[in-house]
Amino acid sequence: MGKWKKKFQKSWISLTIKKKIEILAKIVFLIVIISIAFDVWVVSFSLNDFQSILKDDSKSSQLLDALENESISFKEYIKISNKDNYETFLTDCLVTEETIKRLPFDYSKISVDRYAQTWSIINSYENYVKKRDEIINMPENSEGYIINLYDVYDMQSYLETYAKRLQKFTIEDGNAIYSEKVKWLSILPLIIFLVGATLFTFMISISRGMNRTIVAPIINLADAAKKIAKNDFYIEDVYVQNQDEIGDLIHAFNKMKFATGEYISALEEQRKMMDLIHLDELEKIETEKNLERINLLLLKSQINPHFLFNTLNVIGGMAKLEDADVTEEMIRMLSSIFRYNLKTPQNKVLLEKEIQVVDNYMYLQQMRFGKRISYQIECKVEENQVIVPTFLLQPLVENAILHGLSSKVEGGKIHIRIWEKKGLLNITVADTGVGITCEKLKRLKEQLEEKEHGKMGIGISNVSMRVKSLYKNGFLEIYSKKGVGTVLQIVIPVEKGEEDYVSDIDCR
């Protein structure tokens, strides 16, 4: 058993993540099928025979009732031979015939006594019908009428006696079947418990295996990434037995950690050697120290974004494995915004990139505020051909949410409108927020004119300053009314795109 377990574990860790998930899905599907099949068997075992017993009892009772009704209607018709009594009598006769036809008459499925009694009823009823019809057609004053009539009464009595015996035998057979079933039903809860415990134990084992080979390594990797983000490169290597994609990722992570740590150590040693060599040149030593600090900061600025994106992608992959689709989408959107902010070197980009960043940002805000905030973008220009300043729209949208909508209980709407008029690109960001008083709006406009950006919000001041520095006739204007909302309008010259502005940064 132990040898088989080791062999299974060795095969398991060598499988790819996709294959492991496929196996898990198939096992879960198989367990569900087994559970359904077992439930069907339990229901069939418990109910089918009981339903058969009830049906047989019902048929024998129906036969007895039908014979009694036919006897009564026959006597009524003999007494008063009118049309109504005759129709009633014919109806009862048809019911009796149909009831007899429905009686179980399979020797392999019923007892000998029931079979014999049913056979007697069928044959006796045929003889009875002949005699009954003969009396119906015989004149009352004919010779032998009374004798034949009483013979019919006797035959009806015999048939009712046979029907009562059949009912008795049917009940006895049903009781025997029920007694046999009760023995099994008494141990059925134990069977259900054992089957359920077996399936549950199996699922727990599979879950532990997935946790050990997928979830735990990712958590260890995330913990190590957090330590490295704090510039601790001398932690122990992350150990994992996996031979799948996670194993490859962790091995590459360990190599990168070691190489980065060695590189930083070399820089530190180089700095120390420079200090020893140039002890007599204090000014130069200080300069070299500053240079080394700048190099270290540059290296960290290159490493930290890498580990930020790597960690976000690992967490996103973990969310995908755990079917947390919303969490995965939020991580992807946040990663895209960070990547755009950190890796966009141009002062200007295509308008479609800015719109995509706003889409990503608004997705995260709507996950935060829910239905309180909605937005709409109405773009009437070719967004993949028009160039705008980098980081133009998102700060204004963020300002609208922060100062306009977040403090409003019912929330509101943001409407972005972009159009071209007389060679100028017009962009408005309107919100239905709390608005601005006339006095405060006047101060804001004065600050824009006097370039006192330090007294304004960072988003608006930054955008206004860059617009005016990049375009001679560009400007940012504010319109607002207390309790109604605010509109920020940007007007800049229309500038068509070129290949240099097509960034390889994925903002989706």
**Cβ distance 420 to 426 under 8 Å?**
yes
Residues in the chain: 508
328-360 burial code (b ≥16 CB/10 A, e <16): bbbbbbbbbbebbeeebeeebbbbbbbbbbbeb
Question: Which range, of 118-122, 263-267, 306-310, averages the lowest pLDDT?
Answer: 306-310
| Confidence at residue 199, expressed as pLDDT on a 0 to 100 scale | 75
43 pLDDT above the threshold of 60: yes
| Confidence at residue 298, expressed as pLDDT on a 0 to 100 scale | 38
Nearest to 441 by CA among 473, 404, 490: 404
Contacts of 73 (CB under 8 A, 6+ apart): 85, 88, 89, 91, 92
* Residue 303 banded pLDDT, cuts 50, 70, 90: very low
Q: Which residue has the higher pLDDT, 287 or 2?
A: 2
156 pLDDT above the threshold of 90: no
Residues of the chain with pLDDT > 90, as a percent, come to 18
The helix (H) or strand (E) run that includes residue 252 is helix 245-277
Highest averaged pLDDT of the listed ranges 54-63, 115-124, 212-221, 260-269: 115-124
80 pLDDT above the threshold of 90: no
Over residues 342-348, the mean pLDDT reads: 69
Highest averaged pLDDT of the listed ranges 222-226, 235-239, 311-315, 352-356: 352-356
pTM over 0.75: no
* Residue 137 banded pLDDT, cuts 50, 70, 90: confident
Question: Which range, of 25-39, 179-193, 414-428, averages the lowest pLDDT?
Answer: 179-193
For the chain, the domains span: 2-206, 245-327, 349-498
Over residues 463-474, the mean pLDDT reads: 86
SS3 496: strand
* Residue 226 banded pLDDT, cuts 50, 70, 90: confident
pLDDT tens string 349-372: 899 999 998 998 888 888 888 888
| Angle CA 418–419–424, to nearest 5 | 115
- What tokens appear for 1 in the block? 């058993």
| Confidence at residue 11, expressed as pLDDT on a 0 to 100 scale | 67
* Residue 500 banded pLDDT, cuts 50, 70, 90: low
What gap in Å lies between CA 383 and CA 353, rounded to an integer? 9
pLDDT tens string 282-296: 766 664 554 444 343
| Confidence at residue 419, expressed as pLDDT on a 0 to 100 scale | 96
77 pLDDT above the threshold of 90: no
* Residue 340 banded pLDDT, cuts 50, 70, 90: low
Q: Which residue has the higher pLDDT, 322 or 104?
A: 104
Write out the DSSP string of 139-150.
-TTSTTHHHHHH
Q: What is the mean pLDDT of the chain?
A: 78
What gap in Å lies between CA 483 and CA 410, rounded to an integer? 13
| Confidence at residue 207, expressed as pLDDT on a 0 to 100 scale | 75
445 pLDDT above the threshold of 80: yes
What gap in Å lies between CA 476 and CA 453, rounded to an integer? 13
Q: Which residue has the higher pLDDT, 367 or 488?
A: 488
* Residue 109 banded pLDDT, cuts 50, 70, 90: confident
* Residue 505 banded pLDDT, cuts 50, 70, 90: very low
Contacts of 295 (CB under 8 A, 6+ apart): 267
What gap in Å lies between CA 249 and CA 238, rounded to an integer? 11
454 pLDDT above the threshold of 60: no
Architecture of the domain defined by 349-498: 2-Layer Sandwich (3.30)
Write out the DSSP string of 441-476.
HHHHHHHHHHT-GGGS-HHHHHHHHHHHHH-TT-EE
* Residue 432 banded pLDDT, cuts 50, 70, 90: very high
